[in-house]
A and B are shown apart, each in its own frame.
Chain A
Amino acid sequence: MKISPAEVRHAARLARLELDEEEVASLTPQLDQILAYIDKLNELDTTDTPPTTHALEVVNAFREDEVRPSIDRQIALANAPRTDGEAFVVPRVI
């Protein structure tokens, strides 16, 4: 087993994704099969191989920090599920 139901629940919690038990039961064998396939990577010796995170040499892209107009507040709030007219409203945190 590459992944257990408990590990599926843990990863889902890390990703802030609620799963019901039916989903855990169907996802676990699917993920196990996928991870077993991914084990193929271990056929290769990569001891001295550096990782690639970007295929092209991308260096930090700096620009001047200039004040520019941004999206108007009302437009920014237009897609929000709940607002008070000035800010996004979410359930109480503390």
Chain B
Amino acid sequence: MISDSPILRVRDYTKHFELYEQGKRIPSAQSVDLDVFVGRLTALTGATGAGKSTVLKGIYRTYLPTAGRLLYRDRHGREIDLACADEHRVLALRRTEIGFVTQFLRCLPRQATENVVAQPLIQRGVDWHDALDKARELLTAMDLPERLWGISPATFSGGEKQRVNLARGLIAKPRLLLLDEPTASLDPATAERVIELLTTLKREGVGMLAVFHQPYLVERLAEHLVELPSPSWNERPLEEIA
């Protein structure tokens, strides 16, 4: 029964940016409702500017919500509103339960690729050697040439960086995985590997919320669809703030 109740319930999530220098309010996401379930993928769709990434960043708390509730059920069954949870609580959840893979690789500079990928496991207290073994396993699965494992991803191509990013995002098997166009710059063969990996993770119970560029990914991976309405405010001038 538990697996049928959502691990994430977003209710009436709204985000506006208030830019004081320009004296303007920029609306981004408006009254979004969605659910994410164990072992299933919810796909967020909608036009550019509809606020898809804003929803993901709101759940990860990179953005502070303007209104609404982001109710996450943790592995002990407790419900936490990510909109207002204590900062240390959010950091702990990022370390242990909530993962985020975007289209851009952001990592510590000057670190070997295999260390970058192993990092989430090391942070969870996994033995360094075991973490590195697992990292290599994933880099192999992602088809990243072995000669690149020991150097920093700074000079990698877009596709290579994205593979590193995915390997790092998937290594610790978060309970909730947020994906923001994770396959945007991958060739078809690698994209296929990613689809296989995500399917395996879903089978293992990872709940996912994803933004995909290509419709075929939505078709193949998503159990639930949430379409964000096109932003109607595009025609209106920006609201002034004091």
Chains A and B form a bound pair: no
Q: Which residues of A contact B (CB under 8 A)?
A: none
